[in-house]
Chains A and B, each alone.
Chain A
Amino acid sequence: MGSALVSDRVYVADTVTTAVKILIVGHFAVGKTTFVGTLSEIRPLRTEEVMTQAGELIDDLAGVPDKTTTTVAMDFGRLTLSDSLVLYLFGAPGQKRFMRLWKDMMQGALGALVLADTRRLDQSFDIMSVLEEHGMPYAVAVNQFDDAPVFPEAEIREALDLLPETPLVICDAREAESSSKALISLVEYLRTLTSQEQR
C-alpha cells in the first residue's frame, strides 16, 4: 500500500511547512466536486460526516420519522504552491443546517469561493449569509453550464445583491485555467482586504 501511494504523489513534500485552506461552497449540484477535482494534484478525496439534529427543523423528513441523522459529503483536494506551501480546497454544501461541519472547515480558512448557477441564483443566498455571519470573506464564481442562460454581469450582481467590492467571475469548473483564475480573483481580493486593514 505504501509504495503505491508514494508513486501516486499522495504525500505532502517534506519541505512543506505551511498548509492553508480555501472553501469551495455552493448549493447542491453546482459543480463543487468538479471544481475541486479539476484543480487538485491528488485524486480528490471525500469524507462523509454524519450530522444529527441540527437539520431536523429544516430537512423535510415527512414519511421518514425515524431519520434523525443525515450524511454530508465533503470533497477536498490539494495543490502544492511552492516548496514550502500547500493549499487545500474544501468543497462542501453551504447550507446553514450543516453548521458543525462548516465551523470546522472555516477555522483558519483564508476565504471562500461561492459557486453559483444562473438557473438557481436564489439558492446561493443562504450560503452567502452564513459566510457573512462568520466574517468569512468570499468571491462569487458563476459556473457557466452549457445549457444555462448567460446574463450580463451587472444583472447577476443585482440578482445576488453583491457588494460592489465582492469579486464576481464567470468560470467553467471543468477547466483548470478558468478555475484557477476564479481562485486567483478571490485571493487578490483577500490581499486587498489585508492591505486595507493595515492602513
Chain B
Amino acid sequence: MTPPRPRRDRGLVRPYVVTDGRAHPTRNTLDLVTLVTAVSGRSLSGLSPEKRRVMELCRGGALSVVEVSGHLGLATSVTKVLLSDLVDSGHISIRPPIPKAQLPDAQLLQEVLDGLRSRF
C-alpha cells in the first residue's frame, strides 16, 4: 500500500466558519469536475481569507472543483460553497462538464478511447 502522505495542518478554523454556517452551495450546478477560472480584474477587497486563497489559486488557469479542493486542503462540500459565492459575485467563471445529453455518448467514449490509446 502507498505510505500515507503527511497530514495537512487542519488549522483552527472549523468548516462552518469558512462557509458562514452554510452546508449547501447557492447553486447546485457545480460538479466535482466542473472547470473554474478566476475572472480577471476583479477586486478582492471584502473577500474572506479562504475566498482570497481560492482566487489566488484560480488566477493561474482553469482547474476542476475537486482540484481547487485538493490544493487548498478543503473538503469538496466547503469548496463548492465558496466557489458558488464567488460565481455569484462575478469573481469566478465556470465551464461546466458537457452534460451527457448534449454530446452523443458513443462519440465522447470514442474520444476517450483514442486519447487513452495514443498514450502508448
Contact = CB atoms under 8 A, between A and B. Distances in A.
- Interface size grouping (class) on chain A: 35 or more
Contacts, number: 143
Interface string A32-58: 011001000010011111100000000
A76 B71 CA distance: 12
Interface of A: 1-2, 5-6, 10-14, 16-21, 29, 31, 33-34, 37, 42, 45-50, 74, 76, 78-82, 85, 87-88, 90, 104-105, 107-108, 110, 176-177, 180, 183-184, 187-188, 190-191, 194-195, 198
A88 B64 contact: yes
Given A76-B66, A87-B112, A14 B2 contact: no
B61 A194 contact: no
Given A1-B56, A14-B62, A184-B116, A47 B97 contact: no
Q: Is the interface of A mostly helix, strand, loop or mixed?
A: mixed
A12 B108 contact: no
B70 A20 contact: no
B103 interface: yes
Contact of A11 (B63, B77, B106, B117): B63
29 contacts: A2-B56, A16-B62, A18-B97, A18-B103, A20-B33, A29-B1, A31-B1, A33-B1, A33-B2, A42-B67, A45-B66, A47-B75, A74-B66, A76-B67, A80-B115, A82-B115, A88-B33, A88-B66, A90-B66, A104-B76, A105-B32, A108-B31, A108-B97, A108-B99, A110-B112, A176-B119, A187-B113, A188-B113, A190-B105
